Amino acid sequence: MTLAELLEKMSDFDLSGSASVNITSLTCDSRKVQPGSLFFALPGASSDGHRFIDRALAAGAAAIVLEDTAYAPGSATWIRVADARAFMGRMAATFNGDPTACLPLVGITGTNGKTTTTYLIESIMAAAGRPAAVLGTISYRFGGTIIEASHTTPESTELQTAFRQLKEAGAQGYVMEVSSHALEQKRVESCHFDVGIFSNLTRDHLDYHGSMKSYLEAKLRLFSELLRPSQLKPVRHAVINMDDQYGPVIARQCACPVISFGIKGNCNVRPVNVSSSVDGIRGTLVTPEGDLDFASRLTGRFNLSNILAAAAAGVALKLPLESISRGINDLANVPGRMERVENRLGVTCLVDYAHTGDALENVLTTLQEIATGRIITVFGCGGDRDNGKRPIMGKIAAAMSDLAIVTSDNPRTEEPFSILEQ
């Protein structure tokens, strides 16, 4: 594809040099530049991509996208734009054939519950005969195609390439986790969302966002901007957890119709006659399209909330209630989420990703409801991350367990014992 073809649908840019150069790949990482690459010089808090333009050209870059013309190369083709990140997102979609324009895309954002909800929606869509690819924390997968993930939500160049590859593998839709970092850094620009889900908002990533207000504002972008109806997708829906204190705040700012869900209150999707045990949750879901019965093998009140979110997404996608029910029932477990570890000791051993105070409290609340013996909790907090949640998690573990053991969990550059002391 030539640069001229890539620029056909773009606007608000200045071009210097030839647009007839052939573009073979897109990247914002100078280490990944190959002959024919289009290199995006992105400004950053710790590293400025403009400083790597010479390195990109030496590696064979065919053209450069930049914001600051003070770094413009004298002999090479370059494009000046006001917002290189947003421009990169649009270019990446065009380069890969705009794969989310013609397939349903569900985006899930929130502090906790994203991964489990993606698994549930994947199961529901499979039950409906519309198998979806999942783009999650660890990998992007569909059938036998697995692409390793560099971030929860990668840069737009990597993301759009993954969309194309998963579509080529046969995916009939996408379910993806959308991080607050990705929303703030515009990594999901030109992703054509059909449904956006808000799970909850609790303390996390404050090492990056600085405050809960900034954290909320990052999440809001999905609902106030990226779900705005368009010519390509005139019907879009926001699925909002009204049990969370921020749910009503987000619902008021949505740019599209809202489907509310919650365990409490008269939400659009809500549970009745629910029973829970160590073997799972069963009950009935009330939805705008009718009632459906379910018997999930997932456990805990927080997983009931994830089930509600997935069911509401199924309603938004106009999937049959029978498929929604079957999809919920078919999911056996989610790796690292209340995952049972078989053993010969006669104890119930569970592994959960809980890495925030709220998530840990939810897990321990569930265990208190179903446990018949002692609760022993082993947990840690990662280094170089929000240290304000460490004493919160310690207090919760101590108060809700018979025995709490604090251990090291990826200290990164911090001294492990200094983390434990907090």
Q: Span 218-226, mean pLDDT?
A: 91
Angstrom distance (rounded) from CA 367 to CA 346: 16
Look at residue 225 in the predicted model and tell me its pLDDT.
93
Q: What is the pLDDT confidence band of residue 144, given thresholds at 50, 70 and 90?
A: confident
Angstrom distance (rounded) from CA 355 to CA 117: 17
Look at residue 148 in the predicted model and tell me its pLDDT.
79
pLDDT at 159 over 60: yes
Look at residue 207 in the predicted model and tell me its pLDDT.
52
pLDDT at 180 over 90: no
Q: Compute how many other C-beta atoms are within 10 angstroms of the C-beta atom of residue 264.
A: 8
Look at residue 209 in the predicted model and tell me its pLDDT.
45
Q: Which residue did the predictor score with more confidence, 153 or 338?
A: 338
Q: Span 383-405, mean pLDDT?
A: 95
pLDDT at 205 over 60: no
**Token duo for residue 391:** 């004493």
**Residue 183 CA neighbour count, 13 Å, CB half:** 27
Identify the structural domains of the chain with CATH numbers, from first to last: 3-95 (3.40.1390.10), 99-330 (3.40.1190.10), 339-421 (3.90.190.20)
Q: Compute how many other C-beta atoms are within 10 angstroms of the C-beta atom of residue 300.
A: 22
Q: Cβ contacts of residue 224 below 8 Å, gap of 6+? A: 253, 254, 255
Residues found in the chain:
422
CA distances from 395 to 23, 286, 404 (A): 55, 37, 10
pLDDT at 23 over 70: yes
State which H helix or E strand residue 398 sits in: helix 389-400
Look at residue 46 in the predicted model and tell me its pLDDT.
80
pLDDT at 340 over 90: no
Please provide the average confidence, as pLDDT, over all residues in the chain.
93
Look at residue 185 in the predicted model and tell me its pLDDT.
87
The one-character DSSP state at 110 is S
Look at residue 111 in the predicted model and tell me its pLDDT.
86
Buried b (16+ CB within 10 A) or exposed e, 225-252: ebbeeeeebeebbbbbbbbbebbeebbe
Look at residue 279 in the predicted model and tell me its pLDDT.
85
Q: Span 300-317, mean pLDDT?
A: 96
Angstrom distance (rounded) from CA 246 to CA 239: 13
**Residue 221 CA neighbour count, 13 Å, CB half:** 19
Q: What is the pLDDT of residues 242-298, one digit of tens each?
A: 999 999 999 999 999 999 999 999 999 999 999 988 889 999 999 999 999 999 999
